[in-house]
Structure 1
Amino acid sequence: MITRERLIEEFALLDEKARLMDSEEIHIYLIGGGNLALRGIKPATADVDVVVENVGVLNRLERVLTDPSPELKTSKGLVIYIKVVEHEYRRKLGAYSVYRKLDPELEDFNLDVFVRRVLRGITLTEGIMKRAFVPKEFNELEKLKVHLVSPEDIFLFKGVTSLGRSKDIDDIMRLLELGIDFDVVLDEVRAQKEFIEPERFEHLAGLLLEKLISVQRILEERGLRSSGLDKFISSLEKLLFG
């Protein structure tokens, strides 16, 4: 599992390698469990998921990840990732590329990179990028610009994964405890509708609705209620069914 500390160290090493290569800036948007681990909302994550704006950024990132040249030795030695040609995340989640750093001392570091779209639908919109920010842990990085996507947008990403991913339900519960601005989530759902094909949007929005109804039931079983969640579910139903 990848802890918050490991995540910070790994991105610092990649920035160091990018500086040695005199790379252009590489902007990545951190989503998924890595985002929550960095915030301290969960202790660790199995994989680190990032989104980039376009293939050009992906190509720059891939060069930094995979270049094995000995002159690119960092303060912690050579940092080399291999590209995983066949990976379940490419099939299930639509990851554009998956990279793995094999580490004999620590557990492997898996980096899943999405280009513009995640889950074959959710798009990196202007709104998502504007709400994201570079956290203090990465302020000193010069070439690798790590943007932390907002809790509201992570809530949306987690909400449209398959219903069988119970860990995403757990993450949604954690985000509810943190506090979610449901108006922001609803506005982003409407924005996504403009980018996603109608049938795909209905499928993803349907997943979101079904998952949040499950969360609503879990809260009720615990004697809890979120009026914001209740209102959001009603608004989502109106958006889907009129």
Structure 2
Amino acid sequence: YPGVETPLKDKGPEDIDYVVVRENSGDVYAGGGGSMMPGTPQEVAVQNMVYSRAQVDRCLRWAFDYTRQHGKKARGTGEDNTLGLVGKTNVLTYVYDLWFRAFNEIGEAEYPDVRREYYHVDATCMWMVKSPEWFDVLVTGNMFGDIITDLGAITQGGMGVAAGGNINPEGVSMFEPIGGSAPKYTGMGVINPIAAIVAGAMMLDTLGASAAAADVERAVTEVTGTRMKGMASGQMGYSTAEVGDLVAERI
């Protein structure tokens, strides 16, 4: 309504500063399910949410390790390194009971130095808008992770800024802008390259080149803070290549 301010008003980089770890192989996206009596008024459709303990443990251990190394305490911006599990234990009483038990068992036994918190997914969406500074590192399943990362991307400035990685702790990982590609803009020079550049920084950090990753982040911060007029496509004040050159000049 007129006169009502959005809770995100006046929130800056120091407030919207968290990471989401999304398990990316299980959940309802694995394709299990089916339908009966399709095309009839009695049609029934079922989609299975499936996780194994091994899948959950693998994701949680990576998230705990990441929080220990990159949480707010490790970065010097908070008192604790905090990992928050995002779920819906009051409704999804099997799958997220598994996540909740594994989260606490692994955390207590192997990561006593990492603070643990639990958030329902609907409350998480609310607080990502109202008080994003509460969060440090979040871990969740595939579907909830899909949803909250899109919300997080838009609150941080849009798809042109947000980057992500598909991490394989035992092998090759892949990094990309969270919004994917935009073929209709090919050759026009209007796409914001910041997300792709930051995805490269994530790759460097994952490969152990943390100092190089930090250099890229610092260069991006300077360019977005002092040179670019906007983050949306065609509103940057520069072409795609020119923004890339501005970042490169500062590394």
| TM-score, length-scaled by structure 1 | 0.28
Q: Going by fraction, where is helix more abundant, 1 or 2?
A: 1
Rg: which structure is higher? 2
